Every structure is written in C-alpha cells, then in structure tokens.
Structure 1
Amino acid sequence: MNWLLVLHIVALLFWAALLVYLPALLAGTVYTGSSSTADTEGSLAVREKLPRLLFTHFATPIALLSIIAGTLVFVVHHNIGIWLIVKLTLVVLLVINHTLLGLLILRAETGSSMPVRRWCFASAVMTCMLIAAVLWVVLAKPVFVSVP
C-alpha cells in the first residue's frame, strides 16, 4: 500500500504548488481594467479566466485527491498519534486557505476595490507556512507532552 502514500505525497505537492502559483498569477492579472498595448482583447480575456480555470479544474480536484489518499493511508496503516491530530488541524487550515483563495478569485473577477495583491501575498505566505508546518510534523513526529 505504499502507492497510496506516494499518491498522497504527489497530490499534496501539486496542491501546494498550485496554492503558491495561483496567488502570483492572480496578482499579475489583477482586474484593474488597464492593459498594455501588446495585449489583444482575446489574450486579456484568457488571462483573466486562467486563475478560475486552474482553481476549479486542477487545484480543487488535486486537493480532494490528496485528502482522500491521505485518509486511505491513515485507514490502511493505522498511524495514530497526537502528531496526526496536529497534522489534520494544519490540513484543515490549508483547506480554509484554499477556500479563501477561491473567494479571492471571485472578488478579483468582480473588480471590487479590495486590495487583491496584498491578499494574494498573504495567501501565498500562509500556504508556505502551513506546508512547512505539515512537513515538519510529519517528518519529525514530535512527542507532545500533556501538562498535568
């Protein structure tokens, strides 16, 4: 059943990469209405639709695949420990970050006055911190001592 673990790791890698790439892409195609003279109407429309396309057709299915494969790894290998609860908590925060990125894409499409670039930066930083924390918890499997 090591193939489940490999599937989980590969899916998590692609999910994390997309969660870092999408804010950068979105910040680069902020919907301000201004375009350079080199942009044609068609290429601008494609660039503005790309974040939503990547989010809905790639990032979300890969996130689901990663979560399902991780759940199956847990069920098959019976790895139970406090570190697993900490990891799952971090994954829930990663899912919340994923959802907020989707909302940010929707806000950017509507052209609201919200500072999209700042939120894109915050999303990318949060993703990097959460992935680093998940990797540390999984690789170190720290022993958490309860206080009497």
Structure 2
Amino acid sequence: MWYVKKLEQLTSREFYDLLKLRIETFIVEQERIYQELDEQDLLALHIFHRDEAGKLDAYGRLFEDGEDLVFGRVLTSLTSRGQGLGGQLVEKILTEAERRWPGRQIRIKAQEQVVGLYQKYGFEISGPSLILEGTPHLPMIYKIKNKP
C-alpha cells in the first residue's frame, strides 16, 4: 500500500523504518559517508510503500526548493528490486507533484545508473555529471503539465 505523509503525520515507527531503509541503502550498501538525516525531511512529503507483510520496501521524498520541486532519497529495498516498484514510486511522486503543484518544474540529481529510469518518465539531462557524496550524478529536469 502507498502512503504520502508530511513528517508530523508519520508515526514514530514509520519514521524509524524509512530512516533505517535509507541508511541501509545509501550509507551501508552504497558505502557513502554523509549526513543522511537533513532539514529537508522537515519540509518534505514522504512517499512510501509497504508490502503485504507491512515491510517498507520503497521510499522517496518530495519538497519545494525555491521555484522548483525536488525529489530524492528514491530507493527500493534490496529484496524488492527488479519488480517494477521503482517505476511505481516515480509515478507516485509525479502524480503527487502534479496534483499539488501544477505547472512547476522538477529538478533532480539522479545517480548515473538510474538516469534511464527517469528518462522513461520524461526527465531530461540538464547539465554535466557531478559527484555527490562520492557518487556520480546527472542533473535532470521535468516540466509538470498544467491542469486543464
């Protein structure tokens, strides 16, 4: 089941689970050393999925940054990869962005290995490769359609 919540709507267990999965993915699995918890968590919409057993298996966060929207910390659990959940997560993020902020632009920094996923949804590379927390990323943009 999919959920979209602001920080103050998350239960303490939900917040624990999403931070645990983010740390497992970005800090432990990808061996990146950086401050995982940041001020954006206070502003973001936390979009996540729990499987039938209640285990958190996909997560991303979406927030405003000036005139643009930004999303990040996009992940699927190691045991759930390759099942289309990442694509479903991107669709949920875009649907939420379009519903709340029609006509806005989304700006992301995508890890190079997942650029193709975002291109399937209409994202375009908008600049040269850059290194963030020791990992190559590409800046990308997506223009949200105006509501009719």
Normalized per residue, which structure has more helix? 1
Normalized per residue, which structure has more strand? 2
- Short-chain TM bin: under 0.3
TM-score by length of 1: 0.24
- Greater relative contact order structure (CA < 8 Å, 6+ sep): 1
